[in-house]
Amino acid sequence: MPGQKTPYYITTPIYYVNDVPHIGHAYTTLACDVLARFMRLDGRDVKFLTGTDEHGQKVEKSAQAAGVDPQAFTDRVSQNFRNLSGTLNFSNDDFIRTTEERHKKACQALWKKLLENGEIYLGGYSGWYAVRDEAFYTESELTKQPDGKRIATASGAEVEWVEEPSYFFRLSAWQDRLLAFYEANPDFIAPETRRNEVISFVKGGLKDLSISRTTFSWGVPVPDDAEHIMYVWLDALTNYMTAAGYPDLESESYKTYWPADLHMVGKDILRFHAVYWPAFLMAADLPTPKRVFAHGWWTNEGQKISKSLGNVIDPLQLVETYGLDPVRYFLLREVPFGNDGDFSRRAIVGRMNGDLTNDLGNLSQRVLSMIAKNCDNAVPAPGAFTPEDEALLSQSEALPDRLRQEYGVQAFNKALEATWDVIGAANRYVDDQAPWTLRKTDPERMKTVLYVLAETVRRLAILTQPVMPDAMAKMLDQLSIAPDARGFENLATPLAAGSPVPKPEGIFPRFVEEEAGTA
C-alpha cells in the first residue's frame, strides 16, 4: 500500500538462563540493536526480538543446584537479561520467554504440523548427549579423555550415554533439499566461511534427529504424549515465529513480520539455525528466514575467556568503567563482524581517546565553539560554496547509501570506517580553511566554512545515532535539531541559518587511565 513502511524483523538468539549475561550476549544484542535503530531511522517498520531460552536438562540441573524449582529459577535469571537490555540501551520491541503460554502453543502447533506431514516418527534413541550443549554427538565428533570419559571435540562439553524412547524428525530426508536451498539462496548464511562450513557438514550426511526426551520433565510437553517433552532446540528455535504471531497465520503480525529478515547468532549455534531450523520450517510448509549471520567470539587480552581463568568480561562493568556509548562503539568498530576479536584495555582506550575524543568530539566541539563565539550563537548564513565546500558536503551526502550497503551485510566496522572517513575529511577541511584566520581576513567566508562544517556535523550525528544514541542526541541538541527531525528523511533538509547554537559542552571527555578501575 502507498506510504506503508517496509517491515524489518531482526532477532537475537534467545539466551540460556543457566548463567549471568556476559560479553557475548551483549555483543550479539548490540549488533541487532544497531541494525534495528538504523532501519527505524531509515523509515522501516522494525520488529526487534530478544529473550531467554528457559527449558532443558541444563536449566533443570542448574535449578536443582540452586535449591529452587525451575520456574522460580528462570524467573530470576531471565530478569538479568532484561536488565542488560536496559543498561546497554537496547531498543528491543519484544522480549520472549520460552516458558510463556504463547510459546508453548506455538511449539505444539509446529509439532502437530510436522507430525501431520509425516516428518516425525516414534523410535528409540541411544547415543552420546552433552547436557551443556543440549546437543547430540556421533562418535567421530568426540575425543576420549585419559580417564575414559568423552568430550565433544568442538565445545569441550562432557557427554553421557543416553538410551530412551524418542520421537525423531526425518532430517536425513532433507539433505539434498537443504543443499538445493543453500544454492538457491546464497545469502542465507553469512559470512562466507560459515556458509562453507554448513554446506560441508550437510554434504557429510544427515541423520534423523531425536526431538523428544523422557528422562527429565522441564520442557514443552509433546502433544498427545505427556511422557515426552520436546527437544530444547525444536522448542527454542520456534520462538522467532511465536513472537511474530504463529500459529495464527492470518494474524497481522505474522503476515507482516514472518519470515524474519535476519537471525543473528554466535558461530557455536549456527548449525541449529542453518540446518535444523530451515529443515523444520520447510517440512512444515512454512517460509524460512532470509538470512542467518554467525559472528565470532571475543578473547580477553589475548586469552580465551573462561570462568576457570577468571577473565569473564562483565558488560555492566565495562559500561561502568568506560561509559555506555564508547563501549558500544568499540565493540562494533574494533573487529570485522563475523571474525573473532580480542578485547584489550589499550585498544578501547585508544579508540576512545583517538576516534571519539580527538576525531569526532573535537570536530564538533571546535566547530560549534567557533559558531557560538563568532556568529552570535546561531548557525551563520552561507555564501556561495567553493569546490572545497562542495567536496565535503558531497562526501557526507554520499554516506547514507554507503551505510545502507554496509549495514545490509552486517559490516559494522566498515560502516564506521566510512563514517570516520568523512570525519577525517571534515577535520582536514577545518585545518585547510582555517576559519580562525578568516575571522580577521574574510568574515563572510568564515561563515560559509562554519556553515559547511555545522551541516556536516549534523549529518554525521544523525547517521551515527544507531551506534551511539545518547552521545549523538547530545550533539544534535547542541545544534538545536528537534527530536522529530533526526530521521534519515531529514538528512536532505539542510540547517536553517539563524538556528540557535549555544556554547557546546564536550561530549567525549578524554579517558585518563590512571583514574580507571579494572575492567
- Residues 49 and 56: their CA atoms lie apart, in Å, by 21
- Residue 300 burial (CB count, 10 A): 19
Burial of 105 (0-12, 13-18, 19+ CB in 10 A): middle
DSSP per-residue letters across 475-511:
HHHHTT--GGG-SGGGTTSPPPTT-B-PPP--SSPPP
- Residues 107 and 247: their CA atoms lie apart, in Å, by 9
Fold of 345-513: Isoleucyl-tRNA Synthetase; Domain 1 (1.10.730)
Residue 364: what residue type?
Answer: S
Tens-binned pLDDT, residue by residue, of the chain (519 aa): 445 799 999 999 999 887 778 788 889 999 999 999 999 999 999 999 999 999 988 889 889 999 999 999 999 989 989 988 998 999 999 999 999 999 999 999 999 999 999 999 999 988 899 888 888 888 889 999 999 899 999 889 999 998 999 999 999 999 999 999 999 999 999 999 999 999 999 999 999 999 999 988 999 999 999 999 999 889 999 999 999 999 999 999 999 999 999 999 999 999 999 999 999 999 999 999 999 999 987 777 776 766 656 666 788 889 999 999 999 999 999 988 878 878 888 999 999 999 999 999 999 999 999 999 999 999 999 999 999 999 999 999 999 999 999 999 999 999 999 999 999 999 999 999 999 999 999 999 999 999 999 999 999 999 999 999 999 999 999 999 999 999 999 999 999 999 999 989 999 999 997 644 444
Determine the 3-state secondary structure of 153 from DSSP: coil
303-304 β-sheet, strand order: 303-304, 298-300, 341-343
Q: What share of the chain is helix, strand, coil (3-state, %, to 5)?
A: 50, 15, 30
161-179 as b/e: b if 16+ CB within 10 A: ebeebbbbbbbeebbeebe
Sequence-ordered list of residues with C-beta below 8 angstroms from that of 243, at least 6 positions apart, any chain? 11, 47, 49, 51, 94, 96
pTM as predicted:
0.93
Residue reference for cell 578473547:
299
| pLDDT at residue number 335 | 86
Element (H, E) at 50: strand 45-53
| pLDDT at residue number 305 | 61
> At how many degrees (to 10) do helices 175-184 and 192-203 cross?
160
Residue reference for cell 584566520:
437
Question: SS3 sequence, 205-270?
Answer: CCCCEECEECCCCCCCEECCEEEEEECHHHHHHCHHHHCCCCCCCCCHHHHHHCCCCEEEEEHHHH
Residue reference for cell 548464511:
189
Beta bridge partners of 143: 151
Q: What is the DSSP letter of 141?
A: G
| pLDDT at residue number 3 | 59
